[in-house]
């Protein structure tokens, strides 16, 4: 009897496991030839780009009935670890919008063999293209939109305080901080000035001092140079003096934005970037007057370029993925996207021709002008393959200096030591 | 001599669970240890460095030491609070009062909430500029405090919020332990003239010890694994005042691209938790033997 029960148990277990495996195998069968090929496209949004890209994806789906683009949005803060985990498990999407393509190089598809137009990669700006180019010339994607760091001012608060905005374009950070502090005291708003908690924003701040993270050849470091040191000391000092609040930079690790404080009219001077323009236009509306102003000028213009990239992952539909990429990177698509999303285009032809923005044209042109004024060192830093982790390290060490855990000198020493390790 | 037959059926029933356990726990843990022996980078093949990562963490990495120090402080406060708090709440919930069922549920509700929701709500309550707590203090004529921007307050609130969110669970364990103590012991004690304090010291506490050992082990393990509540509430700040070990590992892997280093930190955390669990288990066994 016991023996019979044992045998029946084994048979039952075996049957249930076989059913599970068979079902799994059935699910893995390829779709019939007539069904469209699915292309999974993962995106993170800054806000105004969402309707623009959704519109383009819908148009592509309509014009290409043999392809079905499954479009999904993930939070920016989770993007890198989500894609890394998925790619490592062989479950990466077919295409994704990323800021640090180098993280995924081992999983990415070289698009060259599947390009209809072999010249396609050359149609984009040279510096950003380097970030999607492999060691042996592989092309893993395209720069899709360019960004430019820069400050915004709450003009209404300046008027309310009776403080005039600077007449000249060439204003130092010290002058801006003094003005912001005066406006804050006269109007009673809680925040004078701040920057997003980001190594990228910090580097843009430092550029105006002639500082930065990497040497021009990209092989060395400039974190402890006198110019960078001066910039970092000032940045910490502004926090210690209460001009910049601890609320943004004293948080632990990770990106913290200050756009809510600006949108709510509580912040006089905000160092962020052009991607905020469309969002501010939608959310601030007529609540108060605001505008983009040029970056500070001390030894040179401050600011940092940035960008988002479309990268293709190795998968089952390389031809279809590249078709989508060529469509999204075409002059027509990019013109539509840049003007709707209020971003800067990355195609050489469009940058030369210019893009007409439906709203806030003056603000967008402030950023485009800033881009033209950027020193070469800003491009070297931003497009350095190790910029991400080095910027994170500098950001976190400076946070420690701001909260008084360590001195600025110690922060610089530790950040540079880590950066040296990362460059090996 | 009659040979004893080893029954196969129990092992076959355990087999699916062991397969899942191996695939999702044993294999990743093994691969984690393997990865910890390499210096990794997205731009070059991984380089075998043996115990290099471990030596770096223990000798050179100030952030690792900081995370470990913060974690020990957190666990000490959290576990201490959990033991005392769960006993107090367990005793209160064991009283015969009206709406006892409601109170038992009310203390358990926070356990059901997502850690992200809990941390976000408390972040709003403790906000420097707009938080409910500072608003209340200002209304009462007192000065508000930047609760999450001052290191010692930030540490206090990290522990408090975690206690608030999880105390209900451990209180129920203690309540179950209290309810398993025979009522006759208390009756006999009353007859002998023992007051409430003596009843607690000589009946309740000794008989509750095995339950408290369970609370101690579980809360210690959970304490060392802390991430979500603290990461959302303070981000590890201000500065690195509340940087915990799991957040250190997360940062090393996903913000610094140092997967080998993250794997070695993860392995060290596993060793710490394992050793603590073994010690607690041995102490528990010794107590039972006595």
Beta bridge partners of B86: none
CB-nearest to A246 from B15, B42, B149 is B149
Mean pLDDT across A50-62 = 95
Query: Is the CB of B41 less than 8 angstroms away from the CB of A424?
Result: yes
Query: Tens digit of pLDDT for each residue in A136-155?
Result: 999 999 999 988 999 999 99
Sorting pLDDT into bands at 50, 70 and 90, what band is A17? low
| B110 found inside a domain | yes
Element (H, E) at A141: strand A141-154
Q: What is the pLDDT of residue B99?
A: 86
| B182 found inside a domain | yes
Query: Is the CB of B237 less than 8 angstroms away from the CB of A403?
Result: yes
Q: Where are the alpha helices (DSSP H) in A246-386?
A: 246-249, 259-263, 276-284, 318-328, 331-341, 348-353, 361-373, 376-382
Beta bridge partners of A142: A310
The DSSP annotation for A287-316 comes to SS-EEE-PPPBSSSB---EEEEEEEEBSSS
- ipTM confidence: 0.87
The DSSP annotation for B245-279 comes to HHHHHHHHHHTS--HHHHHHHHHHHHHHHHHHHHH
Checking if the pLDDT of A255 tops 80, the result is no
| B131 found inside a domain | no
The pLDDT > 70 percentage for chain A reads 92
Q: What is the pLDDT of residue A254?
A: 65
How open is the CA angle A263-A264-A266, to the nearest 5 degrees?
105
| B255 found inside a domain | yes
Residues of A in contact with B243 (CB under 8 A): 252-253
User: Taking a C-beta distance cutoff of 8 angstroms, is the pair B147, B154 a contact?
Assistant: yes
| B144 found inside a domain | no
Query: Is the CB of B12 less than 8 angstroms away from the CB of A10?
Result: yes
Q: Which residue of A has its CA nearest to B129?
A: A190
The pLDDT > 90 percentage for chain A reads 71
Q: What is the pLDDT of residue A26?
A: 47
Q: Is the pTM of this model over 0.90?
A: no
Checking if the pLDDT of A28 tops 50, the result is no
- B99–chain A Cβ distance below 8 A for any pair: no
The DSSP annotation for B63-85 comes to HHHHHHHHHHHHHHHHHHHHHHH
CATH code, domain carrying A249: 3.40.190.10
Nearest Cα to Cα of residue A400 among A271, A270, A255, A251: A251
User: Taking a C-beta distance cutoff of 8 angstroms, is the pair A236, A412 a contact?
Assistant: no
Cα separation, A252 vs A238, in Å, equals: 19
Cα separation, B125 vs B142, in Å, equals: 16
Query: Is the CB of B240 less than 8 angstroms away from the CB of A389?
Result: no
| A326 found inside a domain | yes
Judgement on whether residues A165 and A191 belong to the same structural domain of the protein: yes
Instruction: Identify the residue whose tokens are 């295409």.
Output: A95
- B242–chain A Cβ distance below 8 A for any pair: yes
Nearest Cα to Cα of residue B269 among B196, B200, B220: B220
The residue range of the domain holding B109 is 52-124+151-289
Q: What is the pLDDT of residue A32?
A: 47
Query: Is the CB of A250 less than 8 angstroms away from the CB of B128?
Result: no
| A3 found inside a domain | no
| A27 found inside a domain | no
Residue finishing a domain among A353, A374, A409: A353
Judgement on whether residues A327 and A248 belong to the same structural domain of the protein: no
Q: What is the pLDDT of residue A371?
A: 84
- A319–chain B Cβ distance below 8 A for any pair: no
Judgement on whether residues A207 and A185 belong to the same structural domain of the protein: yes
Q: Which of A7-16, A331-340, B146-155 has the lowest mean pLDDT?
A: A7-16
How many domains does one find in chain B? 1
CB-nearest to A105 from B42, B62, B242 is B42
User: Taking a C-beta distance cutoff of 8 angstroms, is the pair A312, A95 a contact?
Assistant: yes
Q: Which residue of A has its CA nearest to B62?
A: A414
Q: Which of A62-66, A174-178, B85-89, B127-131 has the lowest mean pLDDT?
A: B127-131
- B131–chain A Cβ distance below 8 A for any pair: no
How many domains does one find in chain A? 2
Cα separation, B115 vs B100, in Å, equals: 26
Cα separation, A338 vs A352, in Å, equals: 14
Judgement on whether residues A411 and A377 belong to the same structural domain of the protein: yes
Residues of B in contact with A256 (CB under 8 A): 235
Better pLDDT: A363 or A19 = A363
* Burial category of B121 from C-beta neighbours within 10 Å (exposed 0-12, middle 13-18, buried 19 and up): middle
Judgement on whether residues A236 and A300 belong to the same structural domain of the protein: yes
**Measured on CA atoms in the order A24, A29, A32, A37, is the torsion positive or negative?**
positive
pLDDT tens, per residue, chain B with 290 residues: 556 677 888 889 999 999 999 999 999 999 999 999 999 987 788 999 999 999 999 999 999 999 999 999 999 999 999 999 999 999 999 988 888 889 889 999 999 999 999 999 999 999 988 899 999 999 999 999 999 999 999 999 999 999 999 999 999 999 999 999 998 999 999 898 989 899 899 999 999 999 999 999 899 999 999 999 999 999 998 999 999 999 999 999 988 989 999 999 999 999 999 998 888 878 777 665 55
Count CB-CB contacts under 10 A for residue A163. Answer: 16
Judgement on whether residues A133 and A280 belong to the same structural domain of the protein: no
Nearest Cα to Cα of residue A128 among A356, A422, A371, A297: A371
Cα separation, A199 vs B47, in Å, equals: 28
Q: What is the pLDDT of residue B16?
A: 93
Query: Is the CB of B253 less than 8 angstroms away from the CB of A385?
Result: no
The residue range of the domain holding A315 is 37-146+306-353
CB-nearest to B255 from A105, A253, A266 is A253
Judgement on whether residues A249 and A153 belong to the same structural domain of the protein: yes
Count CB-CB contacts under 10 A for residue A354. Answer: 10
Q: What is the pLDDT of residue A286?
A: 92
Judgement on whether residues A300 and A166 belong to the same structural domain of the protein: yes
* Burial category of A169 from C-beta neighbours within 10 Å (exposed 0-12, middle 13-18, buried 19 and up): middle
| A9 found inside a domain | no
Q: Which residue of B has its CA nearest to A80?
A: B254
Q: Which residue of B has its CA nearest to A104?
A: B42
Cα separation, A100 vs A80, in Å, equals: 8
CATH code, domain carrying B92: 1.10.3720.10
Judgement on whether residues A301 and A334 belong to the same structural domain of the protein: no
Residue B253: phi, psi to the nearest 5? -80, -50
The number of C-beta contacts closer than 8 angstroms across A and B is 100
Residues of A in contact with B251 (CB under 8 A): 253, 392, 396
Cα separation, A288 vs A154, in Å, equals: 7
Instruction: With H, G, I as helix, E, B as strand and everything else as coil, classify residue A69.
Output: strand
Checking if the pLDDT of A130 tops 90, the result is no
- A80–chain B Cβ distance below 8 A for any pair: yes
Cα separation, B93 vs B98, in Å, equals: 11
| B138 found inside a domain | no
Checking if the pLDDT of A10 tops 70, the result is no
Q: What is the pLDDT of residue A169?
A: 92
Nearest Cα to Cα of residue B106 among B53, B54, B58, B171: B171
Question: For chain A, what's the residue count?
Answer: 424
| B216 found inside a domain | yes
Checking if the pLDDT of A114 tops 80, the result is yes
Judgement on whether residues A60 and A122 belong to the same structural domain of the protein: yes
Nearest Cα to Cα of residue A383 among A316, A311, A304, A314: A304
| B119 found inside a domain | yes
Long-range Cβ pairs for the range B101-110 (8 Å, 24+): B104/B172, B104/B175, B107/B167, B107/B168, B107/B171, B108/B168, B108/B169, B108/B171, B108/B172, B109/B168, B110/B164, B110/B165, B110/B166, B110/B167, B110/B168
């Amino acid at each position: 009897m016991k023996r019979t029960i044992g045998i029946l148990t084994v048979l039952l277990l075996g049957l249930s496991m076989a059913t599970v495996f068979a079902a799994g195998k059935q699910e893995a069968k390829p779709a019939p030839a007539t069904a469209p090929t699915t292309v999974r496209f993962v995106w993170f949004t800054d806000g105004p780009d969402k309707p623009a890209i959704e519109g383009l994806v819908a148009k592509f789906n309509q014009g290409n009935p043999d392809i079905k683009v499954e479009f999904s949005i993930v939070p920016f803060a989770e993007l890198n670890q989500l894609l890394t985990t998925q790619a490592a498990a062989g479950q990466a999407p077919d295409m994704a919008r990323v800021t640090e393509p180098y993280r995924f190089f081992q999983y990415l598809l070289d698009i060259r063999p599947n390009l209809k137009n072999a010249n396609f990669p050359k149609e984009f700006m040279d510096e950003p293209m380097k970030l999607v180019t492999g060691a042996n010339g592989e092309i893993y994607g395209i720069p899709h939109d360019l960004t430019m760091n820069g400050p915004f001012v709450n003009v209404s608060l300046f008027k309310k305080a009776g403080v005039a905005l600077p007449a000249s374009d060439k204003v130092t950070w010290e002058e801006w901080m003094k003005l912001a502090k005066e406006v804050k005291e006269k109007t009673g708003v809680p925040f004078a000035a701040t920057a997003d908690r980001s190594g990228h924003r910090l580097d843009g701040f430092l550029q105006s001092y002639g500082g930065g993270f990497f040497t021009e050849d990209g092989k060395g470091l400039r974190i402890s140079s006198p110019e960078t040191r001066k910039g970092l000391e000032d940045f910490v000092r502004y926090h210690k003096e209460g001009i910049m609040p601890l609320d943004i930079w004293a948080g632990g690790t990770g990106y913290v934005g200050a756009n809510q404080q600006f949108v709510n009219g509580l912040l006089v001077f905000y160092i962020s970037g052009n991607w905020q323009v469309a969002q501010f236009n939608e959310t601030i509306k007529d609540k108060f007057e605001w505008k983009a102003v040029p970056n500070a000028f001390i030894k040179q213009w401050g600011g940092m370029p940035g960008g988002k990239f479309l990268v293709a992952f190795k998968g089952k539909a390389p031809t279809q993925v590249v078709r989508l990429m060529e469509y999204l990177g075409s002059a027509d698509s990019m013109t539509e996207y840049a003007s709707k999303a209020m971003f800067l285009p990355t195609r050489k032809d469009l940058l030369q021709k210019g893009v007409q923005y439906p709203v806030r044209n003056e603000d967008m042109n402030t950023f485009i002008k800033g881009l033209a004024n950027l020193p070469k060192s800003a491009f070297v830093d931003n497009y350095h393959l190790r910029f991400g982790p080095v910027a994170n390290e500098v950001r976190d060490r400076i946070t420690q200096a701001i909260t008084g855990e360590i001195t600025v000198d110690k922060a610089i020493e530790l950040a540079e030591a880590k950066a040296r390790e990362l460059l090996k | 001599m009659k040979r004893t037959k080893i029954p196969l059926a129990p092992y076959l029933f355990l087999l699916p669970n062991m397969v899942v356990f191996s695939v999702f726990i044993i294999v990743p843990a093994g691969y984690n240890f393997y990865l910890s022996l390499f210096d990794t980078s997205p731009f070059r093949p991984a380089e075998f460095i043996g115990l290099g990562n471990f030596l770096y963490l223990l000798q050179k990495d100030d952030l690792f030491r900081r995370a470990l120090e913060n974690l020990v402080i957190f666990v000490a406060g959290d576990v201490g609070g959990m033991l005392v708090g769960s006993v107090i709440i367990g005793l209160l919930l064991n009283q015969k009062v009206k709406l006892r069922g409601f109170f038992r549920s009310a203390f358990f509700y926070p356990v059901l909430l997502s850690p992200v929701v809990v941390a976000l709500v408390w972040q709003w309550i403790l906000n420097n500029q707009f938080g409910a707590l500072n608003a209340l203090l200002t209304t009462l004529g007192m000065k508000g405090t930047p609760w999450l921007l001052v290191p010692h307050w930030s540490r206090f609130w990290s522990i408090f919020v975690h206690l608030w969110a999880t105390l209900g669970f451990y209180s129920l364990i203690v309540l179950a332990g209290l309810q398993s103590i025979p009522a006759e012991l208390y009756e006999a004690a009353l007859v002998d003239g023992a007051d409430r304090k003596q009843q607690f010291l000589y009946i309740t506490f000794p008989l509750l010890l095995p339950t408290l050992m369970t609370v101690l082990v579980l809360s210690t393990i959970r304490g060392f694994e802390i991430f979500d509540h603290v990461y959302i509430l303070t981000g590890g700040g201000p500065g690195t005042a509340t940087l915990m070990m799991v957040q250190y590992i997360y940062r090393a892997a996903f913000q610094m691209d140092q997967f080998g280093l993250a794997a070695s930190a993860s392995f060290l955390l596993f060793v710490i938790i394992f050793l603590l669990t073994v010690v607690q288990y041995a102490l528990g066994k010794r107590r039972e033997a006595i």
